[in-house]
């Protein structure tokens, strides 16, 4: 896989994932609806800060791990493959019937930036996702750490574009995103992609 092929595949897949309604989208959508655009932008920046921290941690950790031994590569490969296959199968077999932004739990954190940052920093699933998902887009012969950091930065940039669009079009997008058919379709499509990449990762070589 060349660098160009890697980037095209990654951008397509991560965009699909970003557009699938989830916890981060729910927080931004709810904040925009209830508290206004300014506070929603702060929540989005908090979420992206959390992603940056996890991306940096994944880049440093994976770089050291993959350089250490082939055993580490095999452990990471099979752990990532199983994780992606499990997440994908859950989305395929049990797609959500609805997506409700107002279902976000109330917390003691009032500042939207802090709320967004803590939501991601305290969620180890994001770290697991980065460690499982990003390595399969590393082209042969490319140093893992810097490339993973670049992929994480691309993820953050795509999220930023999505959050800005979501905030600016809150009233028109919210009903569409709550449509049960849309949620089920996005879950199933994302599930197929995740299972496919899990299989691809399982048959990859160092």
Residues 23-50 pLDDT 10s? 788 788 878 877 788 989 999 999 999 9
Q: Is residue 111 part of a domain?
A: no
Q: What tokens does 5 get?
A: 């092929």
Q: The domain containing residue 81 runs over which residues?
A: 3-105+121-202
CA distances from 79 to 8, 102, 132, 199, 202 (A): 25, 34, 7, 12, 9
- Model confidence at 186, pLDDT cuts 50, 70, 90, reads low
* Predicted pLDDT at 113: 92
Q: Is residue 85 part of a domain?
A: yes
- For residue 115, being part of any structural domain is answered with no
Per-residue pLDDT for 103 more than 60? no
Helix 3-19 × helix 144-168 angle, to 10°: 40
Q: Residue 14 has what pLDDT?
A: 92
H, E, C per residue of 153-185: HHHHHHHHHHHHHHHHCHHHHHHHHCCHHHHHH
**Average pLDDT of the chain, as a whole number:** 79
pLDDT value for 74 = 74
pLDDT at 174: 64
Residues 6+ apart with CB under 8 A from 170: 29, 32, 33, 37, 40
Q: At what angle do helices 37-68 and 124-133 cross, to 10 degrees?
A: 50
- pLDDT at position 169: 85
| pLDDT for residue 105 is more than 50 | no
Q: Which residue has the higher pLDDT, 90 or 104?
A: 90
pLDDT at 196 exceeding the cut of 70: yes
| Total tally of structural domains belonging to the chain | 1
Structural domain includes residue 47: yes
Residue 116 counted as domain residue: no
Counting DSSP H helices and E strands in the chain, the numbers are 9, 0
Which structure tokens are listed for 102? 């107002």
Q: 100 vs 9, 14, 183, CA distance in Å? A: 30, 22, 10
Q: Is the pLDDT of residue 140 over 80?
A: yes
What is the pTM for the complete model shown?
Answer: 0.70
- 113 in a domain, yes or no? no
Angstrom distances, CA of residue 201 to CA of 5, 69, 122: 16, 18, 27
Question: What φ, ψ does residue 130 adopt, rounded to 5°?
Answer: -60, -45
Widest Cα–Cα separation across the chain: 51
Reading the block at residue 23, the tokens are 């916890």
> In the prediction, which pLDDT does 161 show?
96
Q: Indicate the pLDDT class of residue 177, thresholds 50, 70 and 90.
A: low
> Which of 38, 10, 16, 17 has its CA nearest to residue 164?
38
- Residue 48 pLDDT: 95
Q: What SS3 class is residue 107?
A: coil
> What distance in Å separates the CA atoms of residue 192 and residue 174, rounded to the nearest whole number?
25
Check: CB of residue 127 under 8 Å from CB of residue 57: yes
Residue 65 has a pLDDT of 63
Q: Span 99-124, mean pLDDT?
A: 67
């Amino acid at each position: 896989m060349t660098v160009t092929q890697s980037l095209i595949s990654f951008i397509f897949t991560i965009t699909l994932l970003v557009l699938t309604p989830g916890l981060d989208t729910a927080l931004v959508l709810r904040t925009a609806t209830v508290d206004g655009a300014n506070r929603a932008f702060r929540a989005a920046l908090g979420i992206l800060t959390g992603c940056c921290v996890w991306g940096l941690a994944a880049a440093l950790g994976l770089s050291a791990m993959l350089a250490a031994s082939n055993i580490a590569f095999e452990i990471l490969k099979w752990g990532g493959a199983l994780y992606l296959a499990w997440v994908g199968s859950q989305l395929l077999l049990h797609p959500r019937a609805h997506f409700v932004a107002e279902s976000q739990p109330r917390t003691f954190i009032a500042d939207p930036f802090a709320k967004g940052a803590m939501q991601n920093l305290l969620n180890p699933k994001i770290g697991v996702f980065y460690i499982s998902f990003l390595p399969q887009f590393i082209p042969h012969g490319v140093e893992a750490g810097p490339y993973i950091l670049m992929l994480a930065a691309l993820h953050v940039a795509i999220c930023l574009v999505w959050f800005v669009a979501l905030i600016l079009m809150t009233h028109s997008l919210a009903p569409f995103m709550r449509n049960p058919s849309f949620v089920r379709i996005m879950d199933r499509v994302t599930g197929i992609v995740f299972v496919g990449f899990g299989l691809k990762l399982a048959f990859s070589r160092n």
